Amino acid sequence: MVSSFVLDYMHLVCLGHVKKVISLWIKGPLRCRLSAVTISIISNHLKSVRDHLPRNFSRKPRSLMEYSQWKATEFRQFLLYTGPVVLQGRLSAQMYNNFMLLSIAMTILLSPVLCCKYCGYAGKLLKCYVTNFAKLYGTEHLVYNTHCLIHLADDARKYGALDNISCFPFENYLGTLKRLVRRPQNPLQQVVRRLAEKPILGEDGRQSKAQIPHSCGPTLPDFPAHMQFRQYRHEGTVISCCVGDNCFDVEGRVAVIRNIIQLLSGAMYTVCQFYEQQDCFCRYPIDSSCLGIRTMTQLSDHLYGVPVTSLTKKLVVLPLRNGHVVFPQLHDH
C-alpha cells in the first residue's frame, strides 16, 4: 500500500514544500525571516531575468511577495533555475546550502540520464536536507509533507525520472482543453467539436509559425546561405536567434546562435559563437558542472557553422555578475 501509491512532486515539492519555505522566508520565525530589503532585491532580480528564459516557459518569474498566487510551474522554475541564482549571497550560507540540497536533488531526480546514475545520491541529499531543515526552521515545521521528501528517490528508482509519475502532463492538458471552450454554453460539446476538427484542419497553422525567414543575419563564407531564418523547429525543439532560445550544448561547449541558414543542398546549419571559459556554478553539495550547471565567460568573436542535428541539449542561460550561468533545460513549459 505504501510503495505502490507514488508521490506526486508537483503537489508535494512545488506547491507544497517550496511554497512553504518561501512563506517562512517572508513571514516565518525571526531566525529564518528575510528583511523587506532582501525580499525586494530578490524580487527585482527575479523580474529582471524574465527575458532570459525560453519562450516555451509560459509563466515568467514574479515577485516573491506574490508567491501565494504562483502556479506549480513557477515554483518548479524557482527551485531548478532562477532560485539558485537570485538567492546566492542573499540568504545566509546555511540556508542557501540547504536550498541547494533540495535543488540539486530534484535536478537529479527529474533528469532521465542523471536519475539512473545518481538516484541513491539524491536520496541521501534529501535526507540531509530534511535534517538541516529542522535545525534551520524548527521541528514544528517537520510535517508529513516534509517527511515524504525522503521517499522521492525510492519512487524514482522504481519508475524512473519523477516526471513519469507527476500530475504536470494532466494539468497541462486541462489547460489545452480549457482553451477549446470559447463560450459558457455547452462546454463539453465545444471540446468534442474542436477535438474532432483537429485531424481535418491538420497542423498547418502551427508549422507555418515554426519557421520565420529573414535576410539580415551573419553568414559564413564556407556555408553559402540559400535562406536564413530567425526561428526554426527541429524535432519539436524551437531553435531561435532570440535571447532565451538561442543557447545549446554542443559536445560540452555552450553555443550561442546568431543565425539559422539553409544551404543550397537543403541542409540546415546554425551560425554560432562559443563561450571560451567555463567553471562550476557551486561546489556544494556537489560540483555543479557534473550536472551540466556551469558559469560561462568570454564569448568568442569567431563564428562557427554547426548543423542543427548537433544541437541536442537546450540550455537555460541566466546573467550572473560578469558572465552567465547555464542550466540544462529539463522541461519545455
- Beta-carbon count within 10 A of 151 CB: 16
Average pLDDT over residues 267-277: 95
Residue 203 has pLDDT above 80, yes or no: no
Name the pTM for this structure.
0.92
pLDDT in tens, 131-169: 999 999 999 999 999 999 999 999 999 999 999 999 999
Cβ(296)–Cβ(119) under 8 Å? no
Q: Among 16, 5, 4, which Cα is nearest to 102's?
A: 16
Cβ(269)–Cβ(308) under 8 Å? yes
Model confidence band, residue 1 (pLDDT cutoffs 50, 70, 90): confident
Beta strand segments in the chain, E: 212-214, 225-234, 237-240, 247-250, 253-263, 268-280, 294-299, 304-307, 313-320, 323-328
Pull the grid cell for residue 139. Answer: 521541528
Q: How large is the angle between the packed helices 112-137 and 93-110, nearest 10 degrees?
A: 150
User: In which residue are the cell numbers 509560459 written?
Assistant: 58
Least confident of 72-81, 83-92, 305-314: 305-314
pLDDT in tens, 12-36: 999 999 999 999 999 999 999 999 9
How far apart are the C-alpha atoms of 214 and 229, rounded to whole Å? Answer: 5
Residue range(s) of every CATH 2.30.30 domain in the chain = 209-328
How far apart are the C-alpha atoms of 81 and 333, rounded to whole Å? Answer: 13
Percent of the chain with pLDDT over 70: 97
How far apart are the C-alpha atoms of 1 and 4, rounded to whole Å? Answer: 6
For 67: left if phi > 0, alpha if psi spans -120 to 50, otherwise beta; the answer is alpha
Residue 202 has pLDDT above 90, yes or no: no
Residue 51 has pLDDT above 70, yes or no: yes
Average pLDDT over residues 264-282: 94
* Four-way CATH pick for 209-328: 3.40.50, 3.30.70, 3.40.1350, 2.30.30: 2.30.30
Q: Look at residue 200 in the predicted model and tell me its pLDDT.
A: 61
Residue 58 has pLDDT above 50, yes or no: yes
pLDDT in tens, 213-222: 988 889 998 8
Model confidence band, residue 209 (pLDDT cutoffs 50, 70, 90): low
Q: Look at residue 312 in the predicted model and tell me its pLDDT.
A: 80
> What would the DSSP string read from start to end of 117-145?
HHHHHHHHHHHHHHHHHHHHH-GGG--HH
Cβ(123)–Cβ(153) under 8 Å? yes
For the CA atoms of 82, 83, 88, 94, the dihedral, rounded to the nearest 10 degrees, stands at -160
Residue 314 has pLDDT above 90, yes or no: yes
Cβ(270)–Cβ(259) under 8 Å? yes
Q: Among 95, 104, 96, 28, which Cα is nearest to 67's?
A: 28
291-300 burial, b at 16+ Cβ within 10 Å, e below that, comes to bbbbbbeeee
Residue 43 has pLDDT above 80, yes or no: yes
Percent of the chain with pLDDT over 90: 81
